[in-house]
Amino acid sequence: MTPLLAAVVSEGVLFYPLAILTLVGAFAVILSRNPVYAAMSMVLTFFGIAGIYVLLAAELMAALQIIVYAGAIMVLVLFVIMLLNLSELEIGKQKITVGAVVGGAVALVGWIALYTVFQALPNQEMPTRLAENFGGVVGVGRLIFSDFVLPFEATSILLLVAIVGAVVVAKAKI
């Protein structure tokens, strides 16, 4: 937590509301039938995650979360949604299917398995002091453009292919 935030409130007072905001937004994305509402709920989730980054003293990551994901990526997602122009008939009514029930059961079993594994791990103490250049622009930039250049470029190509694919699908409808 940043020194300014530490002076004002404890971490728990901010963490739990941000975690609830993030989870509510994530569940709204999953449960929403309207793609535009789902995209707006995703923005809510991104802002909750950015707040949690601030609590972790990763202000650069919080700013990038808002600028890149809540800004640029969501503009692309909304562009694709509007380009597809789905009607109410294409969206359909919400039904509980066998796949949804099986997916929910698999998710629950996965959650229980992860919880059990993490409970079995020995408790490790968190460092009390962060490294001097932790989360700085220079350090993150060096990592992105040296060690993680391939995933960085692969992500940009994947986004470009997704946009081109959406344009092709939208053109086929016309």
Q: Residue ranges of the domains in the chain?
A: 3-121+132-173
pLDDT greater than 70 at residue 72: yes
Work out the angle between the directed axes of helices 74-84 and 35-55 (0-180°, nearest 10): 170
Distances (CA, A) of 79 to 72, 125, 170: 11, 45, 11
Tokens of 23: 């989870």
Tell me, yes or no, if the pTM score tops 0.85. no
pLDDT band for 142, please (50, 70, 90 cuts).
confident
Check whether domain 3-121+132-173 has CATH 1.20.120.1200, yes or no: yes
What confidence score (pLDDT) does residue 128 get? Answer: 67
Tens of pLDDT, residues 100-121: 789 889 989 998 998 898 888 8
Which tokens belong to 49? Answer: 């995650």
Average pLDDT, the chain: 81
How many residues would you count in the chain? 174
Distance CA 74, CA 69 (A): 6
Q: Is the predicted pLDDT of residue 61 greater than 90, yes or no?
A: no
Structure tokens at 72: 């640029």
- What distance in Å separates the CA atoms of residue 51 and residue 59, rounded to the nearest whole number? 9
